[in-house]
Amino acid sequence: MRVIFSGGGTGGHIYPALAVLERLKERNLLDDVLYIGTEKGLESRIIRQKQIPFEAIKLQGFKRSLSLDNLKTLKLFLQSTHRAKKILREFKPDVVVGTGGYVSSAVLFAATQLHIPTVINEQNSVAGITNRFLGHFVDRISIAFPEVATQFPKQKVILTGNPRAQQVAGIQPNQRLSDFKLKTTVPTLLIFGGSRGAERINSAFLAALSELNQKNYQVLFVSGQVHYAKIQTALQDKTVGSNIAVVPYISDMQTVLPDVAVILGRAGATSLAEITALGIPSILVPSPYVTNDHQTKNAQSLVTHQAAEMITEDQLTGATLLKVTDQLMTDPVRRQAMGEQARQLGVPDAADRLIKVMQDLIH
C-alpha cells in the first residue's frame, strides 16, 4: 500500500508512525511512503536521518488564549491545506495516517476533502486539540487508552494500543547494565525524566543520593543532556556509590528497559506503551507542564489497575523518592504482581491492529 504519515513536534507523535512503518516493511505491505511534517519540528531531523521521504509544510499551533497569532495560524492552516492537497494528488496515497501534532491537522483535513481514507492515532488518555478537531472528519480513530473513547464519535473509534508497544514487546534482557558498570544480577531502578530530563526528578535524586548509596539495589540515573553539566557540578562534593550510575542520555533506551526492575519517570504515551508492553513496574511522576494535564490522567489509568505508583511533581522530594522506591525495590513479590498488571494493559500487537484498520479502510 501507498501510505502518507503525518505527525510531529514531539517524539510521542513521531515514534508511533515509525513503528507502523517498520511493521509494514516487515510484512511486505508497503509499496511507497511519504512523511509530511514541519521543518521546525523534531520530525524533520528524525525522519530524514532514517532516509524516509519527507515533505515539509509551514504551520503553527493555535494559542489557547485570544491572540492575533491565531489569525496567522488560520492563514497558515489554509495555505498548508492547499499545499497538502497538491502533495496528496501527486503521491496518490491509499491511506493517510495522522499521529498527532498540529502539522497533521492540515494534512488529514486535506485528505478528507479529497476523499482519501484517513485514520488518526491518539496515544494519550486525553485527546489532543488536533485530534479532537480531526475526529469530526477522519474515517477512523485508533486509541491507546479506553478512557479517551468518549472524546470522539463513537462509531469511528477502535482500540488498537500505541504502535510503539509492538517495537519493544519482544526485546529480551541482554545484560546492558554492564555497559554502565553495574551488575547484571542486582535489581536495578531506572530514574529517567525523558529525553530532555526533568529538573524536579534530578533534584530528588541528588537529595536521596547519600541514602541510595547504601541500598542493596542499584540505580541507573539518566539526567538528560541539558541538565548533565549541572548534575556533574552538584556531584563534585558528593559520594557516588558503586551501585549508582549517572549518565546524560541513553540513545537506545528500549534495549536497556528489559534489564531494569523498576522505572521512575514521566507518564508520556510512548513511555507507558513501552512499560506495559514489557510488563515493568513503574513509579510515575507526571509532567504538570503538558496540555490538559494528560500525563496525570495517563498515569492514573495504570494506578487504577495497580500497575504503577504515582507521585505528583509537587510531592516529589528525596524523602518521597526513597520511600516509594524502597517499597518496590525490596519487595520482589509486589514487583512481579505490578509487572503482570502492567503487561495486561499492554497491546503487544498494536502496530498490526492499526495496520488492520488501514487495510479495512482501503478495501
Extract the annotated binding site for UDP-N-acetyl-alpha-D-glucosamine.
10-12, 124, 195, 250, 295
Place of cell 497558515: 76
Grid cell of 130 as nine digits: 488536533
Grid cell of 57 as nine digits: 509544510
Helices 225-235 and 199-212 pack at an angle, to 10 degrees, of 30
Grid cell of 54 as nine digits: 519527507
List, as residue ranges, the binding site: 10-12, 124, 195, 250, 295
Q: How many whole angstroms separate alpha carbon 105 and alpha carbon 125?
A: 19
Q: How many whole angstroms separate alpha carbon 40 and alpha carbon 212?
A: 40
Contact 280, 339 (CB under 8 A): yes
Q: Write out the DSSP string of 256-278.
A: HGGG-SEEEE---HHHHHHHHHH
Residue of 178, 188, 200 lying closest to 261 (CA atoms) = 188
